[in-house]
Amino acid sequence: MKKNTLQIIIDALSKLDNTSEKEILKILRENTKVGGGLYSKSEILAEIEKLNNPLYKKLVPIIKMKSTRTISGVTPVTVLTKPFPCPGKCIFCPNDVRMPKSYLSDEPGAQRAEKNHFDPYAQTFNRLLAYKNIGHPTDKVELIILGGTWTSYPETYQIWYIKRCFDAMNDFKNADDTTYKSKLEIPYEEKSIHEINGEKITDSYNKIVSQAIIPMQSQAKTESATWKELFAVQIQNENEKTRCIGLVIETRPDEITESEVIRIRKLGATKVQIGFQSLNDEVLKLNHRGHDVATTRNAVKLLRLAGFKIHAHWMPNLYGSDPKSDVEDFKKMFSDPDFMPDELKIYPCSLIQSAELMQYYKKGLWKPYTFEELSYVLEECYKLTPEYCRITRMIRDIGSQDIVAGNKKTNFRQIIELNLKKQKAEIKEIRYREIRGDVVEADELNIKQTKYETSVSTEYFLEYITDKNKIAGFLRLSIPKVENYISDLKNAAIIREVHIYGQSIKIGQKDEGKAQHLGLGKKLILLSKELTKQNGFDKLAVISSIGTREYYKKQGFEMKEVYQIAEI
């Protein structure tokens, strides 16, 4: 039987000892399509799946594009909400009225959102399709909902938005290679917004967005759902092929109240990205942040008691600060028991033309740090970050064309890590220590226990590490010191996170030597039950995601109102 061109390409690739990008390209150029043109990697991967030959399976990780996207054990799907008025008036914030507040239309995620008319279904489905087409697993999804201040959107919009994301995940099992075309209209009048950018803005972001959003009753009705409808699609997702194993929203400290935390949890969220920006009241005031440090303290306490992973945003080089003050501010984040976040995004302030900060810059009141000043701050941040915190990002993904003044180096993190390596400085933060694609055996791992005190809890960070301190998996256990305001969590310890690292593996799949299937999660949960009992508690709760409920059910946890509980 005559082989087609794709099969010839796959055969040629399988015979290579060391398959590099250059060698792949050489074979593709030697075997072009009829009429010219190269076969894409997604076409090659689709053919490998179709042939179902074990000899070809080794090619998948070699051909796969951007393997680091899922190397941390999950497949992240980032979606953006539509432009909407924001309660904040921060002078450093961009005012791109085509986007939700603080985002720019040139950012990759923003471009995808606009292309999909900010439709949550289209964004989720098409992002999953893009992953599938380049060989990534799509069954364990961390859904990250970004865009301004989530909690300021109407409740019906929030429920509808998350429901539609779940609809897309539930429907994805039937996906072919067809991109989903949004049936929604772009949420603003193009003619009202097209020419508005940079210094041309004379009215506030909120006023322009309010006037430009299409006042369509039909669309307003479309963007609405009930709690009952949301819960139905979430229950369906518990056993779907594409499951939501983490749901993230972002908001401001002054939006966090007891009732708001409970509502976020009902929506299915497990992590909150929250803008600390600074822990200095004077700096917050100068930058028109709209809240003080006391508000941040209260927000963190409420989120921690509810079991949420706390993902802080922090900004050096704000107006009114300096390198030395920034380092002191960062120290406070991990020495003051009111803070101690689990994850962190460090976003040095960059000047965007549409930000109010532009006027301060013109008057000489603010200037960006030099390369040396910023290097000093970021190196100190790395050294001060404890082993229980993960620095998710160190530089925001803003195109250099949008930055008037400030850092334009997208590889600043790599530069800092290299400098610290030369200094032989110890880096403890999680991302640097992730095991990533390494093969490990269970007997090569050691359990390490880090205990630290917050103002409302005793926290245990339990991790499996190699002899070189590479992390294969961890669990966050919180033992409360104060009475909880959530009924499910009365007199209960709580697992705030279980995460096993390594390349994301399909649900039910066994892959020899991969950390995700060494049973590390089960072992960590057993240890957390022992610690719960030792600390005098007979109930252990977990802030489970929709797609992990079945897993925790097998570990002895029973679903209550919005948490799963195990009796010890």
Q: Where are the domains of the chain?
A: 5-63, 80-248, 252-433, 435-567
Alpha carbon 456 to chain centroid, angstroms: 25
Instruction: Provide CB contacts within 8 A for 214, sequence distance 6+.
Output: 185, 186, 187, 188, 189
Instruction: Provide CB contacts within 8 A for 397, sequence distance 6+.
Output: 107, 108, 410
Structure-model confidence comparison of residues 463 and 205, the more confident one: 463
H/E run at residue 250: strand 243-251
**DSSP state at residue 32:** P
Q: Strand order in 457-465's β-sheet?
A: 446-453, 457-465, 471-480, 493-500, 539-542, 564-567, 558-559
The answer on pLDDT for 406 being more than 50 is: yes
The tokens 């040629």 sit on which residue?
A: 12
Report d(CA 84, CA 198) in Å as an integer: 18
The answer on pLDDT for 511 being more than 60 is: no
Share of the chain above pLDDT 90, in %: 66
Report d(CA 62, CA 190) in Å as an integer: 43
**DSSP state at residue 3:** P
Domain 252-433 annotated CATH 1.10.10.10: no
Report d(CA 173, CA 177) in Å as an integer: 12
Q: What is the pLDDT of residue 508?
A: 54
Structure-model confidence comparison of residues 97 and 135, the more confident one: 97
Report d(CA 264, CA 336) in Å as an integer: 26
Report d(CA 326, CA 278) in Å as an integer: 8
H/E run at residue 326: helix 323-335
Q: Which of 11-20, 76-85, 169-178, 257-266 has the lowest mean pLDDT?
A: 11-20
Report d(CA 315, CA 304) in Å as an integer: 22
Specify the length of the chain in residues. 568
Q: What is the pLDDT of residue 532?
A: 98
| CATH number listed for the domain at residues 435-567 | 3.40.630.30
Burial class (CB in 10 A: 0-12, 13-18, 19+), 239: exposed
The answer on pLDDT for 83 being more than 80 is: yes
Average pLDDT over residues 439-464: 94
Average pLDDT over residues 113-134: 94
Q: What is the pLDDT of residue 61?
A: 67
Q: What is the pLDDT of residue 401?
A: 82
The pTM of the whole model exceeds 0.85: yes
Report d(CA 196, CA 129) in Å as an integer: 33
Share of the chain above pLDDT 70, in %: 88
Structure tokens that stand for 102 in this block:
């603080």
The most confident of the ranges 160-169, 182-191, 406-415 is: 160-169
Residue type at 508 in one-letter notation: G
H/E run at residue 351: strand 351-352
Structure tokens that stand for 87 in this block:
């309660």
Report the DSSP pairing between strands 493-500 and 539-542. parallel
Q: What is the pLDDT of residue 271?
A: 98
**Which pLDDT tens digit goes with each residue over 97-115?**
889 999 988 888 899 999 9
H/E run at residue 309: strand 309-314
The answer on pLDDT for 65 being more than 70 is: no
Helix/strand/coil for 360: helix
C-alpha distances in angstroms, 504 versus 116, 241, 537? 26, 14, 34
Structure tokens that stand for 387 in this block:
């082993």
